[in-house]
Amino acid sequence: MDFPMFHLDWLNDRFLIAVIAILHVFINHGLAVGFIPYITWLEQKGVSMASANQITNLEWDNLVYKKMKVAFIITTTIGAMTGVGIWFSVALVSPASIGSLIRVFYWAWFIEWLVFVTEVVLILIYFLTWKNSNTSLKAKLRHINFGWYLSIFSWITMAIIVAILGFMMDPGNWNNEQTLLNGFTNPIYLPQLLFRTPTAMLVAGVFGMLLTTIFAKRGTEMRAKAIKFAGQWILAWIPLVIIGAIYYWNVMPSAMKENMATAIGSQDFAEYYNLLKYFIIGAASLSVVLAGFALLKPKKINFAYVIVPCLFVFGFLGIFERVREFIRKPYVIGNYMYSNLLREEDYPLYKRDGILKYATYTSVTEITEENKVQAGKDVFMNLCSRCHTVNPQGVNSIVYVFERMYGIGQPLDEGSMKAYIPNMHNGRTYMPPYAGNEQELDALVAYIKQIQQTGESLEGVQTAGVEVNPLNNAVEVSKRNEAKKIENDTKIAKN
Ligand code: HEC
């Protein structure tokens, strides 16, 4: 409520973040954290495969270089842009939560930034000096070392960010003692890191095999060898993926019980959760089959064999992120801030006085019969718009979700809606409890009723502009200060 509300009334605000973030995770895990050590390992193989008078097997080295070129181009363009994109989209859609996270993780993020800048410098060195390093063995070995340094720095950036992701799901005892260390060592951190690390390696291995089928000529010994190595790499990491998944799996439900008002969780969550389970099992078994096939019959492997497991491992990564997002609902930061950006501890105040009085950006603070619908719009913007759209064609549109309950196309009944909203968090545990007072509930219901009739949409501040709370504009504040001053002066005069 302290920030103007950006809103996309068709795409849904959360969707904007999700698309950018998931794309970023694909690239970060599959083409950086997992891929760089895989490439460096292969580069090293080239040196050991070289004949006596060679520094490295040049043909092999060129194949590995081509794969690295793909990773270099994608990570430094889409990878970097989606990384910044997460900041932009989150700052627009969820400024209060990112503000809280920055306060808690300031130094962690500062260090992450230094590590990231180092990573960028290292990837430039690693890729751009590749060909020149093939002139002497010493230069080549130094180049390979740069590959390992780059691998370590890529991993550290992920290791820091994962702490923040774990914190949002379950801050552990941070709510009692709000320190960086407490936030960093949250209960989900280690399991998530131990799961993501081998998963990144697995995704990289499968993607690497796919690139081999594109870049290496069919039927050649070199291609068979490269496919075999990818098979070895995948098989080596799979057991750790499975151990990590089981470990992580076991902490997830306990975090869910902590965060959800009812311990059973919601139907929708169970569906995603099961989907993830099948995707993990599917992706792991498909990868094992692929890797086994690659070791036994490397010459048979072609693009068509690899593409399905490849889509599966990326799909599994995507669903994993979806579940991670879902699990922390109704909170954006577990037991601290709800997904509507209101802090849990402020709720009693909002319930007593209403939210509009405290909102920085609203056009109404005193609700009357005339401004009721406008007030309802402000209430909706503050309490529902992070997850619902107004536009009838929008994703998770508010009229649609109500009509789905009470009958599609039927006129919505104000009484039923009024009875439902204050209890919505009980049946649908992913929704935060309603925060406002009775009058604001009336206004909200009147607004929803009106949009059902008009089919209008809701403009965010990016197009509608901002309206400052009338209680907080300069004139009002100076009036209040003046009144206070007079009050103080009379007190002094009396004394
Ligand atoms: C944290 C995100 C979030 C917030 C905030 C939120 N909702 Fe929801 N709401 C959802 C999701 C997710 C669904 C489920 C959509 C689906 O099943 O397709 C939903 C479903 C609903 C439903 C249908 C429930 C059912 O049983 O089918 C109603 C009604 C609803 N929301 C009203 C509201 C109102 C009113 C507000 C604001 C006071 C609000 N929601 C705030 C996420 C949210």
Q: How many CB atoms lie within 10 A of CB 113?
A: 12
Question: Within a domain: residue 5?
Answer: no
- For the chain of 495 residues, list the mean pLDDT of each consecutive stretch of 10: 92 90 96 98 96 93 98 96 96 96 97 96 97 96 98 97 94 93 95 96 98 96 97 97 90 69 55 80 93 96 95 90 84 93 96 94 93 96 95 93 93 95 88 95 97 95 92 85 89 83
SS3 of residue 332 by DSSP:
strand
Same domain, 203 and 328: yes
pLDDT of residue 267: 61
Same domain, 261 and 382: no
pLDDT of residue 269: 66
Q: Please tell me the total count of domains within the chain.
A: 2
What CATH code is carried by the domain that includes residue 398?
Answer: 1.10.760
Q: How many CB atoms lie within 10 A of CB 423?
A: 11
SS (H, E, C) 79-116: HHHHHHHHHHHHHHHCHHHHHHHHHHHHHHHHHHHHHH
Q: Whose CA is nearest to atom 21 of ligand 1?
A: 401
Question: Within a domain: residue 351?
Answer: yes
* Whether the CB of 156 sits within 6 Å of ligand 1: no
Same domain, 366 and 334: no
Is the CB of residue 39 less than 8 Å from the CB of residue 64?
yes
How far does the centroid of ligand 1 lie from the alpha carbon of residue 436, in Å? Answer: 16
How far does the centroid of ligand 1 lie from the alpha carbon of residue 371, in Å? Answer: 25
Same domain, 382 and 484: yes
How far does the centroid of ligand 1 lie from the alpha carbon of residue 195, in Å? Answer: 31
Question: Within a domain: residue 7?
Answer: no
**Residue-number span of the structural domain to which 86 is assigned:** 13-338
CA dist 428 and 331 (Å) reads 13
Q: Return the bridge partners of 151, or none.
A: none
Which residue, 321, 338, 355, sits at the end of a domain? Answer: 338
* Whether the CB of 338 sits within 6 Å of ligand 1: no
Q: Are strands 331-333 and 337-338 parallel, antiparallel or unpaired?
A: antiparallel
Question: Within a domain: residue 8?
Answer: no
SS3 of residue 209 by DSSP:
helix
Same domain, 232 and 194: yes
383-386 long-range contacts, Cβ below 8 Å, gap at least 24? 383/340, 383/342, 383/355, 383/432, 383/434, 383/435, 383/436, 383/444, 384/340, 384/444, 385/5, 385/7, 385/13, 385/458, 386/13, 386/14, 386/93, 386/94, 386/339, 386/340, 386/341
Is the CB of residue 259 less than 8 Å from the CB of residue 170?
yes
pLDDT of residue 258: 63
pLDDT of residue 262: 47
Same domain, 309 and 392: no
How far does the centroid of ligand 1 lie from the alpha carbon of residue 431, in Å? Answer: 6
Same domain, 362 and 258: no
With the most atoms of ligand 1 within 8 angstroms of its CB, the residue from 13, 384, 412 to mutate is 384
CA dist 242 and 196 (Å) reads 11
pLDDT of residue 319: 86
Same domain, 295 and 159: yes
SS3 of residue 456 by DSSP:
coil
Q: Which atom of ligand 1 is nearest to the CA of 268?
A: 17
Structure tokens at 416: 């039923």
How far does the centroid of ligand 1 lie from the alpha carbon of residue 88, in Å? Answer: 25
Q: How many CB atoms lie within 10 A of CB 192?
A: 23
Which residue, 274, 308, 338, sits at the end of a domain? Answer: 338
Same domain, 261 and 292: yes
Structure tokens at 470: 């009338």
DSSP-assigned states of every residue in 7-63: --TTT-HHHHHHHHHHHHHHHHIIIIITHHHHHHHHHHHHHHH--TT-SS-HHHHHH
Same domain, 359 and 332: no
Question: Within a domain: residue 2?
Answer: no
* Whether the CB of 430 sits within 6 Å of ligand 1: yes
pLDDT of residue 406: 92
CA dist 417 and 469 (Å) reads 27
Which residue, 338, 366, 390, sits at the end of a domain? Answer: 338
How far does the centroid of ligand 1 lie from the alpha carbon of residue 316, in Å? Answer: 26
Beta carbons within 8 Å of 181's beta carbon, 6+ residues apart: none
* Whether the CB of 424 sits within 6 Å of ligand 1: yes
Q: Is the previous residue joined to 330 through a cis bond, with omega within 30 degrees of 0?
A: yes
Q: Whose CA is nearest to atom 33 of ligand 1?
A: 384
Question: Within a domain: residue 6?
Answer: no
Q: Return the bridge partners of 343, or none.
A: 337
140: Cα within 13 Å, side-chain hemisphere: 19
Q: Whose CA is nearest to atom 29 of ligand 1?
A: 402
Question: Within a domain: residue 1?
Answer: no
Tell me the pTM.
0.91
* Whether the CB of 339 sits within 6 Å of ligand 1: yes
Same domain, 327 and 386: no
Same domain, 411 and 287: no
Is the CB of residue 189 less than 8 Å from the CB of residue 140?
no
Q: Whose CA is nearest to atom 23 of ligand 1?
A: 401
* Whether the CB of 386 sits within 6 Å of ligand 1: yes
180: Cα within 13 Å, side-chain hemisphere: 10
CA dist 360 and 467 (Å) reads 9
pLDDT of residue 264: 46
Q: Which atom of ligand 1 is nearest to the CA of 384?
A: 37
CA dist 43 and 37 (Å) reads 10
